[in-house]
Chains A and B, each alone.
Chain A
Amino acid sequence: MTVAVPPIEIEDLHKSFGVLEVLRGVDLSVTTGEVICIIGPSGSGKSTLLRCVNLLEVPSAGRVLIEGYDITDPETDVDEVRAKIGMVFQQFNLFPHLTVLKNLTIAQRKVLGRSSDEAISVAEAMLSRVGLADKRDEYPIRLSGGQQQRVAIARSLCMNPDMMLFDEPTSALDPELIGEVLDVMRALADEGMTMLVVTHEMGFAKQVADRVLFIDEGVIQEQGPPREVLENPKSERTRRFLRAVEH
């Protein structure tokens, strides 16, 4: 990309559900190719932050800029912006009534207007990338959790996203299936994809992240390179959380 504008820029983001204020003023600027891991206790607002970036949740206040476009502006074409942002969910959310191949081609055809042939060839390329080329004609139910999540990543990649959001991508997986999903994500990071990852995998954060954010009570409590935040946390809150996660 030639643009110098940050892919994601968040300014004083607030989000409330009724009287519950989940996000209380988050500022964040993500640079191209940066991998950011977001950690924090459950209910701290990390998933909500991620979901505000592609407007699955509408912010109560503040601005979210995607490649310079304010997506909270009612004039913005949300669908166009969303197509640039890949999203991977904890529960995979594959379309159960469609085969793996159709899962990967449907949005290409209906959103990007690609021809059937083109969509299929892109889909096949992405399936090989996540190591599942032989599963193209299966229904999602026939796949393991790890395979389903890899298909979900491939489905996002088919849209040529400029950035990817991962919302606890391995939290619903059996322990032995986590590795295969993290491998795919690591490869993506190595290729320079801009990534926001909400995760509990501290090992992954340590190895892959350029920056780690610790969120608690709706604000970023601490951020910095993984080494600093994870091994030498400044705040007592972060220290307590990391201790709790380790055991």
Chain B
Amino acid sequence: MRREAALSAAVIAVIFTAPGRLPAVAQGAAAPSAGVAPIAPALLAVKVVEENGVPGVPQALTEKPGDPQAGAKVAVDRRLGNCLGCHQISALGNEQFHGEVGPSLDGAATRWTVPQLRMIVVDPKKIFSDETVMPSFYRVGGPGRVRPEFQGKPILTAQQVEDLVAFLAAQK
């Protein structure tokens, strides 16, 4: 039940500006002992647009369109999305060990629009609640005590997010 998107859509936040130096306090962790603030990688600006009360990210994070097959790999890889750690995904039925912590992602594209799917991957707290256990995959800052090698970095790159979104958009 989407009304004229252009009218109801309100830009509610630009959560990342890029590229730049991230203040160490944003990590909530103790400042690195060497006294050098970590340099944030080129995090792209993510523009959150609310549509009928549901936030979404309508703009793709990369110019190169997402590749659903690459997205499937990101969903499986334990060092990347590890989505399968928590979700069941029938399209990845040849993989073992589908987690039970989150709901099945079968038919996700029938429940969410592409901007909403992108929002869920980028920062699910914006869609569900701050209480969700699902990690924010393209957000920097927030939690404390981030291990030094991950400080100032999102879990996934912009391209990996787009690949995942393409994969999710195919789950009908």
Q: Do A and B bind each other?
A: no
Measured CB to CB, the residues of A under 8 A from B are: none
Q: Which residues of B contact A (CB under 8 A)?
A: none
